[in-house]
Structure 1
């Protein structure tokens, strides 16, 4: 008989601290082995289901009985700061059919073919940034010099955001992800929203051939939605821009920093990649699996009762899918705690799973592949400029990050 309850007293408090940026919280391994479907307590006293096994995660994320609507009662909010962001509605917090229709408008901008067309521009950007590093001379903090600059330049180009405004939107998205207080987070979100509204209004008056320009062209079409293609409002375009500015920036920047640091600590893997550069695509997928920095981003609320492996998840209950735990599941990835740059890790959940799987996954992987391969090819003697223990890590709302990475060569 299915179990529709769990022991409510003494539930662990979530999120668990990630004490090691190269590994998930140790609690995940125990839960995955003993209680792969368990309950946790959140900061506000609310309870939520925590999913730590790969198979359960995939089954649940593909189930139409769960919702991504963040304003729905029971949706799990994991920090006080995050409350300030719940008013920002984007298509990722919609359910089908609205989500499907809005996503369809963006798919052509992020296909494998489109990303392949962007690769020369990404390569040129990486080379330019490394040229600046070399001209400056060591030591250089890789975080602002490459990790933050690359995705900023790329997303600015795709969206049509003036690069001169990079510092403004970097500081605001940074605070939205890592703000120290709810007030700080909310203020940053409001300022970025106002900036994007102004940008979109300007593009409406002066059309441009970029993603925002094309979305505004859709919004300007007369009449109602045409079949599966929705007519966007200007607010829709603003919200899509807000999503892409944040999602396409902080996550790639943090992943690039940790990817470089991981390879600096593993000289054998680095040597293998330099000898066989064709391994970089698989190495990037394995790093995404192994690091799983956006661990708590995949959250849902149950719309109708779901039976999952002997448990009943009731309508209105929150669900947290721990991507980092699922990505270390030996049932899916043998010897999952070991980083293996030759592993075929493409089925990892770092980009999510199901209808809400990350739209920009091909772009993010391409940026990482080009940046890592070029950096280690052009600076073969790259090394840390400070002892490892002096590096500062930060585990924020949904991202694990190294905030500074001084390097020399």
Structure 2
């Protein structure tokens, strides 16, 4: 384990990490696989940086997602109403196995495929709204953010009249800002979302529709009493769809757009051969994905990772950003290559916690980027790349804004 340089100074400071994440993680990876660091919530954590160790840890049943296995004082995290907190990101088997099986019955390939045309229609509408008015725009606020929240609302069956409030609560809850009032605002937003989901579920139980939430309600109400979803589990699943699908989609779209604008040879290859888009989405997720760190884990017993013993109950952070730039797994990892074999990338997880929404995430990203670059063939950055600012988060890799011009 290494936590300081040979001179005794810290290996990095938070500002350096935000400004130059991949350089910092390369230095950590070269210095050793496991490091004692302050976690995103300020409590102590063990950061794992090498691909092989991270992939193994993602499948290790001794590394629990259940917060009850955390030592007191070793994890704070996001304060949510308990009904929203009882979700798959806080569960281990057997509860995780049971709920994932039930959700899979509702989250079907047919339901995902039904969203293909609405996603393209929404993307085109958003791009229509940009095109006539300005020579420049911020693609985060005008495109990357409104698209996924619209997709989530369509998936869950949130009525049009409620979507403005729904997005406002979500934005507050997921905001990463140095604002002393943020914890109180986030708590209020969490209560508002809980209240809203409770009423929405009650309405859909009376008048079901062809959406995921109605299907989850059917699973909850029709299963054998000993094996069905609990009411809090149903509420937390609705929240999980929102939490997992919104912020990550925003940042993947923003990061991917920046990566392609910064690598014009790769963008030119995509323009010349649209069949490359499928593989490009995988490479873009590896190259600069939104999840810099996987969901935190807590050893249920002392665990050795990369030769370092991590005590039971302490927080383990698996650094996906470092794993995806590990040259022992991905040759020349700092180069974007849309034809690269990305087999084994971890952007959507690995093992029993592999992302349930992975097919939707892939489809949404490919449709959105295709629509964007087809609509604006001369799209370019409106400012030097060095002036772009990243959100102040160790956990998430995402831009504050992405100013672009449409005339090259």
Asked if the contact 1:14/1:42 (under 8 Å) is kept, the reply is: no
Q: Cα 1:85–1:136, aligned 2, differ >3 Å: closer, same or farther?
A: same
| 2:89 corresponding residue in structure 1 | 92
Cα separation, 1, equivalents of 2:14 and 2:289: 15
Residue 65 (structure 2) pairs with residue 65 (structure 1): no
The answer as to 2:222 corresponding to 1:221 is yes
Q: What is the distance in 2 between the residues matched to 1:236 and 1:14?
A: 39
Unaligned 5+ segments in structure 2 are: none
Matched with 1:50 is: 47
Counterpart of 2:170 (choices 170, 173, 176) is: 173
SS in 2 for 1:296: coil
How far, CA to CA, are the matches of 1:386 and 1:294 in structure 2? 25
Contact 2:33–2:306, Cα closer than 8 Å, also in 1: no
Contact 1:76 1:301 in 2 (8 A): no
Matches of 1:49 and 1:14, distance apart in 2: 16
Q: In 1, Cα distance between the equivalents of 2:73 and 2:15?
A: 15
- Aligned equivalent of 1:19: 18
Structure-2 change in CA distance of 1:223 and 1:369 (3 Å) = closer
Aligned to 2:34: 37
CA distance in 2, matches of 1:76, 1:103: 30
Alignment deviations for residues 192-226 of structure 1 (CA, whole Å, 9 cap, x no partner): 2222122112222322221111111222237523x
Q: How does 1:214-363 map to 2 (within 5 A)?
A: 214-221=215-222, 223-225=224-226, 230-363=227-360
**d(CA) in 1 for partners of 2:51, 2:149:** 32
Secondary structure of 2:304's counterpart equals: strand
CA RMSD of aligned residues (A): 2.8
**Compared CA separation, residues 402 and 13, structure 1 to 2 (3 A):** closer
Whether the 8 Å contact between 1:70 and 1:86 is mirrored in structure 2 is: no
* Contact persistence 2:291–2:395 (CA under 8 A): yes
Deviation at 1:331, TM superposition (A): 1.1
Instruction: Provide the residue aligned with 2:211 in structure 1.
Output: 210
SS in 2 for 1:294: coil
- State whether residues 122 and 370 of structure 1, in contact with CA within 8 Å, keep that contact through their aligned partners in structure 2: yes
Alpha-carbon separation, structure 2, partners of 1:130 and 1:83: 34
Q: Could you say which residue in structure 1 is the equivalent of 2:159?
A: 162
Retained in 1: the 8 A contact 2:106–2:216? no
SS of the residue corresponding to residue 48 of structure 1 reads strand
Q: Is the 8 A contact 1:302 1:314 kept in 2?
A: yes
What is the number of residues matched between the two proteins?
397
Partners in 2 of 1:93 and 1:16 — Cα distance?
A: 29
Q: Distance in 1 between matches of 2:318 and 2:192?
A: 31
